[in-house]
Structure 1
Amino acid sequence: MRQFTAVVNPTAGSSSGTAALLPVARLLREAGAEIDTQYSRSLEHARELARRAGEAGRAVLAVGGDGMAGCVGGALSGTGTEFGLVPAGRGNDFARALGMPSDPGELAGVLLRGTARPVDTIEVSSAVHDGISVLGSVYAGVDAVANRHANTSRLLRGAASYYAGGLRAVTAWRPASYRITVDGVLHERRGYTVVAANSGFYGFNRRIAPGARVDDGSLDVVVIHDAPKRLFFAMMNELKTGAHVRRPQVEILSGREIRIEAERPLPYGADGEVDAALPVTVRVQPGALRVLCPEPVPEISSRR
């Protein structure tokens, strides 16, 4: 029987996280599992709590959205600790990629009896981030600006906050000149964004990289080139299905180590958190995290 420590988001997820966790925790306890709830004071404190619980041999649950999932899961990368998700944020994109159920009973069943499957993580290195790990994606450009707007919105929630943030960001955007080095090969491009994706989803159910798989040992690099803004707005709608990848303005590269630079200071984000600026280097860490998830998993490679 697994024993759990749940680490709850200290900010936006504190109330919604508690609401999401309570029915799941009750079902886990009724099944005989022990679950300890820890409320973190900050993301760094959440990492500390997660590491401490993992060292004690407990499965660790991240309760919150993608920022919390990336924070806690990243802290456990390479440790062998079993990691689970209780989705309670705006986007929940990594949970969506893994096919995590929203029903408390189904979710409790996955956490109790699900297989701990190895998935890749992303190591992020920059002037701000000294080798931290995240789960879903690292993105630099207009989407980082949009996500910052969404995170600071007090009036809108969920998909509405992302759409409004995107509209505001694109309206004011000036195309940037990027230097993208993929496994030692330089690509110079001008455009809207560069996304290094482990998971195919980001930005509240947007399929930015439909071909990405979380266990294939590589990152999909999506580059959206310069284009009229009306075309970019059309692509925003196509992100719902992944149809944007058929446009000539969208280029997809693939590699294990990616460095992203730009000719002006640009923000980059990682798993929903935007607090740093380019340049940044990201590296895939194959099979570094053991995640409790259902079967079949949409974004688990069929080769395994």
Structure 2
Amino acid sequence: MTDTPQPRRAPQRAAAEPALTRNTPLLLVSPVSGGGRGLRALPAVHAALEAAGLSPVVHHSASLADAADRVRRAGPDALVIALGGDGLIGAAAGAVAKTGALLLPLPGGRGNDTSRRFGLGLDPVAAAAAVATYREHRIDLAWVTTADGPAAGGRGFLGVCATGLDGVANELGNGIRLKLGPLTYIAGALLALFRFTGANYTVTSGGATRRGRAWLVAISNHGQYGGGVRISPDSRIDDGTLEVVGLWGGGFVRLAAVLISAFRGAHLRFTGVRVESARTVTIDADHPLGVFVDGERVGTLPATVTVRPGALRVLAGPRAEALGGA
């Protein structure tokens, strides 16, 4: 769920490093995503890409900021392959949107929601081996600005901006040291049920303002987070809009039912669950809740989220749900 700064390794860039292109891609890998899952998969992923005719240049990210900086230096002609968690992929996406390069996200974290929604599966080696079958798409980048933290100057993301109970669940899940994989969010949510009692929110979207007590407010780009929670199952990442999902009012029993149903995307039928589309959303609460995007804490409310339609190029599989694939 999270990348944390690691001691800086020896420089990865050699004096005679080849120019980065689609056939000589930049392969970003996070040493810490998913408890080192991406790093363990790196040799086999590298071999699969070579078998597909590519010659990857590997960069071990020391942090999300380091990953974004390396992507910016790759230039507009590069294929950027991000092997890590959704946080690494989101950081790479924000940088790719600025350079015009092409992004391929590979599953190397705990939840891997972006690779799932892009039809790339959960096996990074199989996803790398199938690179020749993927199609290029133009997709939206969501952009969040918070009161403080890494997103104080703005931060791009592909998945979901979460605050409230799901944000608390992310924070608690990130602190779990057991290797639970996608179950980490469930464990965090169970802990959050004993820590969070709701908040009084003010949410403005589509020109209308809603105030009231809510358990959670999530702003969706591709619609999924937490290792399979389909918070906005019909979200598309190429439609130029965001979906604002809130659970307003109700008690503990309804909250538990919504959380269970959200893994199937069946929670939208519950009383108190509201979904609205917007291009700009502002959100605040009566106390300083954390803001999470793609599993990373990026700051504290208040926050503003906007969408940048068609801001970046990605490779995705033929069954990419976020792009209308069945």
Pairwise TM-score range, normalised by the shorter structure = over 0.9
Cα distance in 2 for residues equivalent to 1:103 and 1:172:
34
- Structure 1 length as normaliser, TM-score? 0.93
CA drift at 1:94: 0.9
Whether 1:7 aligns to 2:37 is no
Q: What corresponds to 2:68 in structure 1?
A: 47
Closer/same/farther in 2, CA of residues 14 and 174 from structure 1, 3 Å limit:
closer
> Partner amino acid for 2:289?
L
State the partner residue of 1:23.
44
Opposite residue 198 of structure 2, the aligned amino acid is: P
1:69-218 maps to which residues of 2 (within 5 A)? Answer: 69-103=89-123, 106-128=126-148, 129=151, 130-218=153-241
Change in 2 beyond 3 A, CA 1:14/1:26: farther
Which residue identity lines up with residue 141 of structure 2 in the other structure?
T
Offset at residue 168 of structure 1 (A): 1.1
Q: Is the Cα–Cα contact under 8 Å of residues 229 and 263 in structure 2 kept in the other structure? A: yes
**Aligned with 2:194: secondary structure?**
helix
Shift of 1:256: 0.2
Matches within 5 A, 1:215-234: 215-234=238-257
Structure 2 Cα separation of the partners of residues 265 and 110 of structure 1:
44
Q: What residue in structure 2 maps to residue 263 of structure 1?
A: 286
Contact 1:75–1:132 under 8 Å retained in 2: no
The secondary structure found in structure 2 opposite 1:211 is: coil
SS at match of 1:41: coil
The code of the aligned residue for 1:50 comes to V
Give the equivalent residue in structure 1 for 2:58.
37
TM-score (norm 2): 0.87
Which of 257, 260, 266 is matched with 1:237 structurally? 260
Any unmatched runs of 5+ in structure 2?
A: 1-21
Q: Alpha-carbon deviation of 1:127?
A: 2.5
**CA distance 1:72–1:248, change in 2 (3 Å):** same
Tell me the secondary structure at the aligned position of residue 287 of structure 2: coil
**Cα offset, 1:152, TM superposition:** 1.2
In structure 1, distance between residues paired with 2:191 and 2:89: 27
Of 296, 306, 311, the residue aligned with 1:288 is 311
Higher strand share: 1
For the 8 Å contact 1:29–1:35, the answer to whether it is kept is yes
Secondary structure in 2 aligned to 1:214?
coil
In the TM superposition, residue 51 of structure 1 has moved relative to its aligned partner by 1.2
Deviates more, 1:76-85 or 1:146-155: 76-85
Distance 1:189 1:79, change over 3 A: farther
Q: Is the 8 A contact 2:35 2:179 kept in 1?
A: no
2:79 to 33, 46, 59: 59
For structure 1, the residue ranges without an aligned partner over 5 or more in a row are: none
1:177-214 Cα deviation digits (max 9, x unpaired): 11101133211121111111011211110110012111
Q: How large is the RMSD of aligned CA atoms in angstroms?
A: 1.8
Query: How big is the shift at 1:239?
Result: 0.8
Residues 192-248 of structure 1: CA deviation (Å, up to 9, x unaligned) = 111110112111101100121111110010001122112211211101111110011
**2:306 counterpart letter in structure 1:** R
Contact 2:27 2:82 in 1 (8 A): yes
- Name which of structure 1's ranges 171-180 and 4-13 shifts more when overlaid on structure 2: 4-13
1:76 maps to amino acid: V
Call closer, same or farther: CA 1:88–1:49 in 2, change over 3 Å: same
1:16 aligned partner, one-letter code: R
Q: Which amino acid aligns with 1:261?
A: D
Contact 2:35–2:109 (8 Å) recurs in 1:
no
**2:8 matched residue in structure 1:** none
Indicate conservation of the 8 Å contact 2:34/2:110, yes or no: no
Q: Give the whole-Å Cα distance in 2 for the aligned partners of 1:148 and 1:105.
A: 29
Whole-angstrom CA distance in 2 between matches of 1:104 and 1:190: 41
For 1:22, what is the secondary structure of its paired residue? helix
- Partners of 1:237 and 1:296 in 2: how far apart? 25
Q: The residue matched to 1:238 in structure 2 has which SS?
A: helix
The Cα shift of 1:105 comes to 5.9
